[in-house]
């Protein structure tokens, strides 16, 4: 686990011992099977930011909201990011019932969730995304968040594997989808593609994407500065 979280282990334990006071159960209706269930959610403003990584990953001190971003129906096995959970079409519902529900066995997760639980739930959401033929942006974001969870576990091999998968999907997203996606505008997505290339050692591609961001008229000064910092990291190492 990352050093920052080690340093705050006592604080995390204190929160866990107060009946998980920052976690509440949200009532949700599954759009696939109409089952009503409750899913764990972190209260607004409960999470405290420790730092931010250069690929937009936010590190939290307490109650990591990333652990709870996937909603999973215990009845039919449909899983998706909470922002996408209700965005499912009729033909996709049929695909879930045919390919997931028919094989689904419910599982229980201990509260509070941790990195390993989050990874399993993100992978279930990724499986759903593949089955229902979701857009590349959805698969990209899920792969990216799985990579972040492996980063918290200091598992570099699996982190890079999912960063690579995210990169492939983000490249397709940039070419074939309408932007913005998941809060990323065109230039933030360009930067992210460059940053993911940097993290997996593709320096030439990194420099190409960062240079495009830096020379773009429409890019914000903040994202341009992040691209310059990324180029400096390549020169430094």
Structure confidence by residue, pLDDT tens digits, 112-169: 999 999 999 999 999 999 999 999 999 999 999 999 999 999 999 999 999 999 999 9
For 59, 180, 183, 236, the CA distances from 117, given in Å and listed in that order, are 17, 29, 25, 37
- Domain tally for the chain? 2
The per-residue pLDDT for 19 is 42
79 three-state secondary structure: strand
Based on the domain organization, do 153 and 220 belong to the same domain? Answer: no
- The 10s digit of each residue's pLDDT in 13-46 is 443 443 467 888 999 999 999 999 999 999 877 6
202/117 Cα distance (integer angstroms): 31
192 three-state secondary structure: helix
Based on the domain organization, do 84 and 54 belong to the same domain? Answer: yes
176 three-state secondary structure: helix
Place of tokens 């983000």: 170
Average pLDDT over residues 41-54: 86
Q: 237: pLDDT confidence band, cut at 50, 70 and 90?
A: low
Q: What is the H or E stretch that residue 101 is in? A: none
Tell me: pLDDT of 171 over 70.
Answer: yes
4 three-state secondary structure: helix
Based on the domain organization, do 153 and 203 belong to the same domain? Answer: no
Based on the domain organization, do 133 and 163 belong to the same domain? Answer: yes
Can you give the length of the chain in residues? 237
DSSP letter assigned to residue 181: B
Give 143's contacts (C-beta < 8 A, 6+ positions apart).
126, 162, 163, 165, 166, 169
Give the structural domain span for 62: 3-177
For the entire predicted model, the pTM comes to 0.90
124/126 Cα distance (integer angstroms): 5
Based on the domain organization, do 168 and 234 belong to the same domain? Answer: no
Q: What sections of 89-155 are H helices per DSSP? A: 90-99, 115-131, 136-152
Based on the domain organization, do 159 and 202 belong to the same domain? Answer: no
Based on the domain organization, do 141 and 200 belong to the same domain? Answer: no
């Amino acid at each position: 686990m990352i050093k920052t979280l080690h340093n705050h282990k006592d604080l995390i334990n204190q929160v866990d011992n107060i009946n998980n006071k920052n976690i509440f159960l949200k009532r949700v209706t599954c759009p696939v099977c109409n089952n009503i269930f409750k899913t764990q959610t972190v209260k607004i403003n409960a999470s405290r930011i420790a730092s931010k990584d250069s690929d937009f990953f936010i590190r939290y001190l307490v109650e990591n909201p990333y652990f709870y971003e996937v909603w999973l129906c215990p009845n039919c096995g449909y899983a998706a990011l909470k922002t996408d959970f209700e965005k499912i079409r009729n033909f996709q519902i049929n695909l879930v019932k045919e390919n997931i529900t028919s094989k689904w066995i419910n599982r229980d997760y201990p509260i509070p969730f941790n990195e390993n639980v989050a990874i399993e739930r993100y992978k279930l959401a990724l499986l759903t995304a593949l089955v229902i033929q979701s857009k590349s942006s959805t698969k990209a974001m899920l792969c990216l968040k799985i990579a972040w969870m492996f980063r918290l576990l200091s598992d570099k091999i699996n982190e890079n594997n999912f960063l690579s998968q995210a990169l492939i999907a983000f490249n397709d997203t940039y070419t074939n989808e309408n932007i913005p996606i998941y809060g990323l505008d065109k230039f933030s997505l360009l930067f992210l593609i460059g940053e993911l290339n940097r993290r997996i050692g593709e320096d030439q591609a990194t420099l190409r994407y960062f240079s495009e961001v830096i020379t773009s008229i429409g890019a914000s000064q903040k994202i341009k500065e992040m691209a310059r910092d990324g180029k400096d990291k390549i020169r430094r190492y």
